[in-house]
Amino acid sequence: MTQATKNRLNRVRSILVSQPKPTDERSPYFQLTEKYKIKIDFRPFIQVEPVSIKDFRKQKIEILKHTAVIFTSRNAIDHFFGICQELKIEMPADMKYFCISEQTAHYLQKYIVIRKRKLFVGTRTAADLFDFFKKHKSEKYLFPCSDIRKDDIPEFLSKNNIDFTEAIIYHTVAADLSDLKDIKYDILAFYSPSGIKSLFHNFPDFEQGKTRIAAFGPTTAQAVKEMNLIMDIEAPLPNAPSMTGALELYIKKANKI
């Protein structure tokens, strides 16, 4: 923590998390609320809109000419199988699936019966899949994604001369936050650069003032800096690998616990 952020170490009473409210009652966010008696609200700063079948067809992608599909989110899974349904495409039993995490792989079961030999699962990040890609270089990969996505997977596949097709199946757009105009929070917690962009899309004249900013991941942190905001809380940290962990450390210092 820099001297500048130490000087901003005021008591925390309220946090706005720029994501949907967790459905799991055991979420660490709810534990923070109970443990430190602070108010935590949830509000997605971005929303996704499906690509129309007309626009998908313009990409001239033949799904069944691929032998493997890469999934990095639940949104990608939902919109991909939504397109398959509209096009009356049934995925073959020998299709391989590469999922960024166990949660994503588990969600995939909503649409298909998974055969273990056809499923390859990372632990959390795209880099976890790179060894799988190397071992299966002969596959023809389909990468369903948003119009706003990280470059790591396409760059790795291109660099290693692995055959892949990127399919834009949904758009990431700023949510309408106009009702938050006069509401103030001690901390705003962001998980992606898109969340930062949405903040300024909704409030072009946003002034940070005493509001603390929490950012998860290097790309989000970079977006905070590019908008000339002060980043008070950065996650993950060596002793706090999650956003909630980093927030808790900060709350303890700010609230002198």
CATH code of the domain in which 91 resides: 3.40.50.10090
CA dihedral 151, 156, 158, 163 (to 10 degrees): -110
DSSP letter (8 states) at residue 64: G
Residue 62 has which token pair?
């033949």
DSSP 112: S
| Residue that terminates a domain, selected from 173, 199, 223 | 173
Look at residues 130, 147, 173 and tell me which one is the last residue of a structural domain: 173
User: What integer pLDDT is reported at residue 24 of this predicted model?
Assistant: 85
Sign of CA dihedral 76, 103, 218, 247: positive
Q: Are residues 74 and 144 in the same domain?
A: yes
Same domain, 162 and 204: no
206 with 224, same domain: the answer is yes
Model confidence pLDDT, tens digit, residues 222-238: 999 999 999 999 998 88
Confidence of residue 50 (pLDDT cuts 50, 70, 90): very high
Range of the structural domain that residue 130 is part of: 48-173
Tell me how far apart the alpha carbons of residues 40 and 118 are, in angstroms, rounded to a whole number: 40
Same domain for 103 and 161, yes or no, is: yes
Q: 138 with 71, same domain?
A: yes
Q: Are residues 124 and 168 in the same domain?
A: yes
Question: 196 and 166 share a domain?
Answer: no
Q: How confident is the model at residue 116 (pLDDT cuts 50, 70, 90)?
A: low
Same domain for 189 and 147?
no
Please give the share of the chain, as a percent, with pLDDT higher than 90.
79
Counting the structural domains of the chain, the total is 2
For residues 68 and 131, membership in a common domain is answered with yes
Domain C-terminal end among 173, 194, 221: 173
Same domain, 118 and 169: yes
Task: Give the pLDDT confidence score for residue 3 in this predicted structure.
Answer: 54
pLDDT at 161 over 90: yes
Residues 20 and 121 in one domain: no
Q: For residues 222 and 215, give the distance between their C-alpha atoms in angstroms, rounded to a whole number.
A: 9
The residues facing 98 across adjacent strands are: 70, 120
Confidence of residue 6 (pLDDT cuts 50, 70, 90): low
Residues 32 and 71 in one domain: no
